[in-house]
Amino acid sequence: MKPGEELLPKDENGKIILDSVDLCHTWEALEKCKEAGLTKPIMVSNFNHKQLEKILNKPGLKYKPVCNQVAKKEALEFTPFAIEVGFRHIDCAHAYQNEEEIGQVIRSKIADGTVKREDIFCTSKLWLTSLRPELVRPALEKSLKNLQLDYVDLYIMHYPMALKVRNLCDHINVISCVRMCINLHG
């Protein structure tokens, strides 16, 4: 991008301009790209269950989408199969809440000889509440612990925006709480 250009189109008030696109039509265009040999697998990312079902139930579906989000309960079922049939890029994130299960599968596939650690390209992501410099390493170490790995092959800043970590003291006035407790007690 050139300086001054925006990635997201905005109106005169600075609000992002959305477009109404039928994602099934987009999927059909992706299928044509695959048929033309321009890509091997085609996939979706950050789709919710309802959006994914819409594509899966599309009449004339030629290729089922590969999806990079696997729910916790399904991670133990689908990830071993994916590794057995040749998938080597495992995409994780603290926000997906499946790192422990993915890590368990990777360890088991290494232990049974299906793959070596260096065969797997495992990515994880830094979440919005951990963008303060002092939180980056602890967040990565937590992901590594969950994944039961010594390193990830790629660590990605998930979004370019930070969310404030809130704890109880951030939104409760301690003096007011003490006064309320005194009033309740006495």
Burial class (CB in 10 A: 0-12, 13-18, 19+), 180: exposed
Q: Which of the residues 96, 151, 155, 159 is marked catalytic?
A: 96
Residue 170, helix vs strand vs coil: helix
CB 85 within 8 A of CB 65: no
Longest pairwise C-alpha distance within the chain: 79
Ramachandran bin of 168, using left for φ above 0, alpha for ψ from -120 to 50, beta for the remaining angles = alpha
Cα distance between residue 47 and residue 53, in whole Å:
10
Cα distance between residue 186 and residue 174, in whole Å:
18
Q: What proportions of the chain, in percent to the nearest 5, are helix, strand and coil?
A: 45, 10, 45
Give catalytic status of residue 151 as yes or no.
no
Report the catalytic residues.
96
